[in-house]
């Protein structure tokens, strides 16, 4: 057995106080995202964990890439027929989380997912490299397949079939926007007395902020 009880570090890089919090959480997210980008050591600043409630009743989390965020919400793309897509169709309430260990920060987002407009998905699909577009077409995401060779052989057939042609976006592939109802910002602090500030959406569409105990 590997005993991890002595894996400890002191979090001392920053702090999060109520003195100058913006009115809305997206502004603070934007500022934090840029600070992590500028810090320069994160391989994929936009990597986030998406957690859904599956059709079997179990939660499931996986890492995907955030592709855009606006004051309305957070956008990512996937196969609508995947396990993730089916879970969202049954229950659009989900959680996004970012962990930026370089600056000892987490952001946890509760929100409601809905499909983006078809033309938005079209635009992003067309911007992807050809291999990624073909991969979206060829992969029956989350389905059982017989082998790796099955995928690679199907990809070769598609490459041949679409040679010199446009690759259309499949109807079963596109984007979701997650519209937040709650966002928590977590800043590591010494002695495990971390800063936790929660924004919660109110009925009048304003945001209430609260400090949570670490």
Catalytic residues, which ones? 192
Cα distance between residue 99 and residue 40, in whole Å: 15
130-138 and 148-161 helices, crossing angle to 10°: 120
> Exposed (0-12), middle (13-18) or buried (19+): which is 182, by Cβ within 10 Å?
middle
- Give the SS3 label for residue 169: coil
The whole-angstrom separation of Cα 69 and Cα 56 is 30
- For residues 138 and 155, give the distance between their C-alpha atoms in angstroms, rounded to a whole number: 6
How far apart, in whole angstroms, are the C-alpha atoms of residue 115 and residue 175? Answer: 6
**Whole-angstrom distance, CA of residue 182 vs CA of residue 10:** 28
Residue 181: Cβ-neighbour burial (10 angstroms; 0-12, 13-18, 19+):
middle
């Amino acid at each position: 057995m590997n005993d991890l009880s002595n894996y400890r570090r002191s979090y001392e890089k920053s702090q999060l106080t109520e003195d100058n919090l913006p009115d809305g959480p997206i502004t603070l997210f934007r500022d934090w995202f840029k600070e992590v980008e500028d810090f320069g050591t994160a391989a994929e600043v936009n990597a986030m964990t998406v957690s859904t409630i599956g059709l079997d009743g179990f939660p499931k989390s996986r890492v995907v890439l955030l592709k855009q965020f606006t004051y309305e919400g957070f956008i990512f793309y996937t196969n609508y027929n995947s396990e993730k897509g089916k879970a969202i169709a049954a229950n659009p309430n989900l959680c996004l989380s970012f962990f930026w260990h370089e600056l000892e920060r987490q952001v946890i987002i509760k929100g409601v997912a809905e499909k983006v407009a078809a033309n938005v998905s079209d635009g992003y699909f067309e911007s992807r490299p050809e291999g990624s577009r073909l991969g979206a077409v060829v992969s029956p995401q989350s389905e059982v397949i017989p082998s790796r060779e099955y995928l690679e052989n199907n990809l070769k057939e598609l490459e041949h079939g679409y040679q010199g042609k446009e690759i259309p976006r499949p109807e079963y592939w596109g984007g979701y926007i997650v519209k937040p109802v709650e966002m928590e910002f977590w800043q590591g602090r010494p002695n495990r007395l971390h800063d936790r500030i929660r924004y919660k959406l109110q009925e009048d569409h304003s945001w209430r902020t609260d400090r949570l105990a670490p």
